[in-house]
Amino acid sequence: MKYKRLGRTDITVSEICLGTMTWGTQNTEAEAHEQMDHAFDQGVNFFDTAELYPTTPVSIETYGRTEEIIGTWLRKSGKRKDIVLASKIAGSGRPHIRGGRDISAATIREALDASLRRLQTDYLDLYQIHWPNRGTYHFRNLWAFDAFTQGRQKAAAEIAEILETLGELVKAGKIRAVGLSNESAWGTLKYLRLSEERGLPRVASIQNEYSLLYRQFDTDLAEVAHHENVGLMAYSPLAAGILTGKYRNGARPAGSRATINTDLGGRLQPMQEPAVEAYAKVAERHGLDMAQMALAFSLSRPFMASVIIGATSMAQLKTDIGATEVRLSEDVMKDIAGVYRQYPMTL
């Protein structure tokens, strides 16, 4: 396991981050604890969660359950100081979470205190804005995204209020570092500019979707990451399981996420099928496990802070963590580049 410094902080994180969004629905508390034990034993020191979780499916009945499960593990294991723990405040639009209100100074304080109670800790190493108030092109919203509907003064004022509040919480010792999620290049740079102008906490990371099938980070945000030292925490690096190959030829394995969320958040649709077949053939041609090839590719990206994996079984978890031992040859990378040129945007 390799470790990297998170942004310009003094926090060091494993190149694999353990994702948790199935815990409390697809996974029991005991299964989640087993995953945390195994991941920790394999050198994973970075766990990512959110007040919204679990998401398979999202519901008012299970809201916050994932954080509770992590909290019982932290209490039982005594490993809080050995773990880099990240969580997120949900953005607006979820009626069962604070009435769907926007992120503000008041909702940040309310959300953070609730997360800390569920997690049974008095601080978070990384606290992230799950999605911006002004809207986002992520979550399959690209086709309808319109930045020109955003109020310039309102968007700037909201970011300033959020960052000022996070700064106060850092001073209070409740947060060590701050991060963004489902953000754009402009949003990230706005936070960075304000942090420099006002002496506020600097954004340490950005958690956006990234996989062989979804590579929007490769352009503007990659440039931001390089010049500003804000690494990517990649979520859905297996495209919600599509890049394991288990949904090829219309398959729907029992208990899989596609039996709960039938289109996998808009990912499981005909356009991705030829690209997945092409990537599967690359893996087969080079004797690689398809999932490990996909994860190894993400791990190889120079802007990557950590790749977030998620599993519903121990076998899946072991395969995913095993990707850290896979090195993709120049021939594999050339074949991947060829598929990408043919299928540049499939999700």
The DSSP secondary structure of 54-70, one letter per residue, reads --TT--TTTTTHHHHHH
Three-state SS at 126 = strand
pLDDT at residue number 313 = 96
The yes-or-no answer on residue 127 being catalytic is no
Place of tokens 């394995």: 253
Q: What is the pLDDT of residue 199?
A: 97
Specify whether the CB–CB gap between 112 and 168 falls below 8 A. no
pLDDT number for residue 127: 98
Give the predicted TM-score (pTM) of the model.
0.96
Q: Phi first, then psi: give them for residue 265, nearest 5 degrees.
A: 65, 35
The whole-angstrom distance between residue 19's C-alpha and the CA centroid of its chain comes to 7
Averaged pLDDT for residues 87-99: 96
Which of helix, strand or coil describes residue 103? coil
Q: How far apart are CA 57 and CA 47, in angstroms?
A: 20
Q: What is the mean pLDDT of residues 56-67?
A: 96
Alpha-helix residue ranges (DSSP H) falling in the chain: 29-41, 65-77, 105-119, 152-171, 185-198, 220-228, 273-285, 290-300, 314-322, 330-342
Lowest-pLDDT choice from 6-15, 133-142, 335-344: 133-142
The answer to whether 40 and 83 have CB atoms below 8 angstroms apart is yes
**Range 58-66 average pLDDT:** 97
Position 347 pLDDT exceeds 80: no
pLDDT band at 238 (very low <50, low <70, confident <90, very high): very high
- pLDDT for position 249: 81
Quick one: tokens of 72?
């019982």
pLDDT mean over 258-284: 90
Band of residue 217 on the pLDDT scale cut at 50, 70, 90: very high
Average pLDDT over residues 36-55: 98
Predicted local confidence at residue 345, as pLDDT: 86
What's the whole-number average pLDDT of the chain? 96
Residue 196 has pLDDT above 90, yes or no: yes
Of these residues, 53, 191, 247, 343, which one is catalytic?
53
For the range 255-260, what are the long-range contacts, defined as Cβ-Cβ under 8 Å and sequence gap of 24 or more?
Answer: 255/26, 255/312, 257/22, 257/26, 257/56, 257/312, 260/25, 260/26, 260/56, 260/57
Residue 95 pLDDT grade (very low, low, confident, very high; cuts 50, 70, 90): very high
> 294-304: per-residue pLDDT in tens?
999 999 999 99
Confidence band of 259 (pLDDT split at 50, 70, 90): confident
Q: Which residues, in sequence order, are bridge partners of residue 13?
A: 4
